[in-house]
Amino acid sequence: MSEFNSCPAHDKSAEPKESRAGLSRRNFFTSLAVAAGSIGLTSIASSAEAASKKYKICATKDIKVGGGSSFRIPGRNMMVLITQPKVGVFRAFDQRCTHEGFAVNKIEGKNLICQAHGALFDMNTGAVKRGPARKALPTYTVSVEKKLVYVTIKS
């Protein structure tokens, strides 16, 4: 019967058993935590993507600098107000006034106006400049690709 000499660096029996078991358990749980974290983040990211949808709204040339227009969101019973407060800067707002839900339907200077009761909103931020509305207009994410304006809306 012959015995092989093993290299001490690769000879696991040279390590104390308790230490080996502790390390591998720790490594196992660390790996498990990292994997669980990755899965959690991935699933959060994919549910956020699944919960949002991007809609093609109009061409950039349809919105004058310092102006805006409202559009029906394709396939949804919603209106979006697109403005261009500065050259190449586009904003999108829910067209419903935050006072009582009438349509914000007029632009005067840099203001969006709800003619129902006279509320005034900033065309760049949607912030209230004059009541009776107290809350800013809800905003949507706008992107421009190949001279087309897109809006991303959460489902």
116 in contact with ligand FES (CB under 6 A): yes
Candidate residues 57, 73, 80, 97; the one interacting with ligand FES per rule CB under 6 A: 97
117 in contact with ligand FES (CB under 6 A): yes
135 in contact with ligand FES (CB under 6 A): no
102 in contact with ligand FES (CB under 6 A): yes
Q: How far is the CB of 132 from ligand FES (least distance, A)?
A: 5
> Per-residue DSSP letters for 108-139?
ETTEEEETTTTEEEETTT--EEESS--SPPPE
Beta bridge partners of 70: 81
99 in contact with ligand FES (CB under 6 A): yes
Locate tokens 């015995």: which residue?
3
Other Cβ atoms closer than 10 A to 45:
10
C-alpha distance across the termini of the chain, in Å: 74
Nearest residue to 97 via CA among 74, 76, 73, 70: 70
Q: How far is the CB of 118 from ligand FES (least distance, A)?
A: 6
- Given the complex with ligand FES, which of 74 and 101 has the nearer CB atom? 101
Candidate residues 73, 81, 133, 137; the one interacting with ligand FES per rule CB under 6 A: 133
Q: Which stretch binds ligand FES (CB under 6 A): 2-10, 40-48, 70-78, 116-124?
A: 116-124
User: What CA–CA distance (Å, rounded) separates 27 from 93?
Assistant: 50
107 in contact with ligand FES (CB under 6 A): no
CA geometry: angle 50, 51, 53, nearest 5 deg: 85
Q: Which residues bind ligand FES (CB under 6 A)?
A: 97, 99-100, 102, 114, 116-119, 132-133
